[in-house]
Amino acid sequence: MKRLIMFHGRECPHCTRMMPLVEKLFKETGIALEKLEVWHDEKNADLMRSYRPVIAPKCGGQLRTPTFINTETNDLVCGEIDYEKLKEWATK
């Protein structure tokens, strides 16, 4: 099943700044991302780690937050991005 996940960290300023854009995306398109916090939830952390072979090559060889991933297509973006790029990723 297709999941659109945002892996984020509670104390990650990039993630905090992306939250209003994620809300805007939901209001505009009805697309709700699964927001999974990775530093205070080991289950979420392990899920993110399971995508390492997909995420790392596109994120400087590491697991970085925020990472937005479509689990069906493995299409992903990491870091702070503008609204248009977020929408483009989410609606692909």
Q: Which residues bind another protein (CB under 8 A)?
A: 7, 9-16, 38-40, 45, 48-49, 52, 60, 62-65, 79
The least CB distance from residue 58 to another protein, in Å, is 12
For 64, phi then psi, to 5°, come to -115, 150
- Closer Cβ to another protein, 31 or 63, answer by number: 63
CB of 17 to another protein, least distance (A): 10
Structure-block tokens of residue 20: 């209003």
Name the maximum alpha-carbon separation found in the chain: 33
Residue 85 in tokens: 């790029």
